[in-house]
């Protein structure tokens, strides 16, 4: 791989954005400087050195666990189930670690709510000193980007309102991303209900390394918004999609995508952003389907056309809460 190619891969600019994340996450390291945690597959054949089991007659002169008399440091994930979302919070970055949702043809068919009655709120489930608050986003230049989209929860006003918790938000680039390609991607997820009776989606932020052109080293760099700065701006976002066949113990079609938090041209194929689920796991430190055996796993993008349908933002805003789902083919008009 040439130096230029690596630089392009590492960038998260509009032009490079598309293949960027996928390339970083997939590629086997060609250079030692690639971040092993993300780039290299987990070693399966390397012998693991084992420490000898302590002899029974050793009485330790110390007790590291004594720390817990003063409290357990964490991390604490602030798990928060609501009607429409279940989220875990990352107190360090003041972003969610992941937010899960469930959509079905029936849930999307009900329109009992209006976005104009919803407003963004702090999540008091998160302790105040770790919370994101509205002032952090104010004049930051970033959208309060829903992880679980509002349009997926219009089946009740309460369900819709709960998607406006800041524990469901990350700072997202507005033009070209949150209001455009990312919105088309969310629409793709909704359209999956034309093909599957039940869809689960986990969405969250990533902070991926890119190559420093100065010294060639891979570094993680991200903005922190708020005054004082509190809320980290993710470099990328992932969605892991579980398309269920509706049978108990049935097959599940999996798809994982990583998109840069940057403007993306509408003509970029969605499949450019598809990554193996393991790549999202390595990059996020999370595990999504540990209990799903291999024989029940299918590949989403082998069953449906993984493509976005681009619709004009203004038109989409107008129709967002009122459109009837389930009528369009997944492959588009
Ligand atoms: C933001 O960070 C500052 C310190 O940097 C802290 O005093 C403040 O409480 C934080 N805000 C929240 C909502 O945690
Ligand atoms: C949000 O955080 C800032 C910084 O800590 C603080 O000054 C402000 O009072 C907080 N706002 C609310 C509504 O808690
Ligand atoms: C799951 O998919 C396999 C083929 O990959 C098929 O043989 C099996 O019948 C499917 N299971 C169910 C419950 O539909």
Q: Binning pLDDT at 50, 70 and 90, where does residue 195 land?
A: very high
- 178 has binding-site annotation: yes
For ligand 2, the distance from its centroid to the CA atom of residue 166, given in whole angstroms, is: 13
User: Which ligand has an atom closest to residue 138 CA?
Assistant: 2
Whether the CB of 230 sits within 6 Å of ligand 1: yes
Q: What is the pLDDT of residue 333?
A: 28
Q: What is the pLDDT of residue 97?
A: 98
Mean pLDDT is lowest, of 4-13, 203-212, 303-312, for: 4-13
Whether the CB of 246 sits within 6 Å of ligand 3: no
Q: Binning pLDDT at 50, 70 and 90, where does residue 57 land?
A: confident
Selected catalytic residue, list 80, 146, 184, 236 = 146
For ligand 2, the distance from its centroid to the CA atom of residue 96, given in whole angstroms, is: 19
CA angle 14, 98, 79 (to 5 degrees): 155
Residue nearest to atom 11 of ligand 1 (CA): 129
Q: What is the pLDDT of residue 18?
A: 38
Mean pLDDT is lowest, of 4-8, 84-88, 160-164, for: 4-8
Residue range 59-75: average pLDDT?
A: 95
| 146 part of the active site | yes
Q: Report pLDDT digits (tens) over 226-254.
A: 989 999 999 999 999 999 999 999 999 99
Does 27 have pLDDT greater than 80? no
Query: What is the average pLDDT value for the chain, to the nearest integer?
Result: 85
Please state which architecture CATH assigns to domain 5-14+75-318: 3-Layer(aba) Sandwich (3.40)
Q: Report pLDDT digits (tens) over 279-315.
A: 999 999 999 999 999 999 999 999 999 999 997 765 6
Does 21 have pLDDT greater than 90? no
What is the position in ligand 3's atom list of the atom closest to the CA of 247?
13
Whether the CB of 293 sits within 6 Å of ligand 1: no
Mean pLDDT is lowest, of 37-46, 70-79, 216-225, 299-308, for: 37-46
Q: Report pLDDT digits (tens) over 86-112.
A: 999 999 999 999 999 999 999 999 999
What is the position in ligand 3's atom list of the atom closest to the CA of 245?
14
Whether the CB of 250 sits within 6 Å of ligand 3: yes
Whether the CB of 307 sits within 6 Å of ligand 2: no
Whether the CB of 40 sits within 6 Å of ligand 2: no
For ligand 1, the distance from its centroid to the CA atom of residue 160, given in whole angstroms, is: 28
> pTM for the whole thing?
0.81
Percent of the chain scored above 70 by pLDDT?
Answer: 78
Residue nearest to atom 12 of ligand 1 (CA): 129
Q: What is the pLDDT of residue 159?
A: 97
């Amino acid at each position: 791989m040439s130096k230029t190619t690596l630089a392009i891969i590492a960038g998260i600019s509009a032009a490079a954005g598309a293949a960027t994340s996928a390339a970083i996450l997939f590629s086997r390291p060609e250079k030692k400087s690639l971040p092993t945690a993300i780039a290299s597959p987990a070693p399966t054949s390397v012998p693991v050195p084992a420490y000898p089991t302590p002899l029974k007659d050793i009485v330790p002169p110390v007790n590291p666990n004594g720390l817990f008399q003063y409290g357990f440091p964490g991390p604490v994930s602030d798990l928060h189930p609501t009607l429409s979302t279940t989220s875990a919070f990352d107190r360090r970055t003041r972003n969610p670690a992941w937010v899960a949702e469930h959509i079905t043809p029936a849930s999307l068919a009900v329109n009992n709510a209006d976005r104009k009655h919803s407003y963004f709120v702090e999540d008091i489930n998160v302790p105040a000193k770790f919370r994101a608050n509205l002032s952090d986003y104010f004049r930051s230049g970033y959208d309060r980007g829903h992880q679980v989209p509002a349009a997926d929860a219009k089946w009740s006003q309460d369900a819709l309102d709960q998607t406006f918790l800041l524990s469901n938000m990350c700072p997202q680039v507005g033009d070209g991303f949150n209001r455009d390609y990312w919105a088309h991607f969310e629409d793709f997820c909704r359209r999956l209900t034309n093909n599957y009776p039940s869809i689960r989606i986990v969405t969250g932020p990533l902070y991926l390394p890119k190559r420093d052109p100065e010294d060639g080293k891979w570094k993680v760099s991200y903005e922190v918004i708020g005054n004082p700065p509190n809320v980290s701006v993710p470099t990328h976002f992932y969605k892991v999609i579980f398309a269920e066949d509706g049978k108990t113990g049935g097959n599940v079609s999996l798809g994982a995508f990583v998109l840069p938090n940057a403007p993306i041209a509408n003509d970029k194929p969605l499949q450019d952003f598809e990554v193996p689920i393991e790549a999202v796991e390595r990059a996020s430190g999370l595990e999504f389907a540990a209990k799903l055996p291999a024989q029940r796993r299918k590949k989403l993008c082998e069953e449906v056309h993984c493509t976005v349908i681009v619709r004009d933002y203004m038109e989409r805003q107008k129709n967002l809460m009122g459109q009837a789902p389930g009528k369009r083919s997944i492959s588009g008009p």
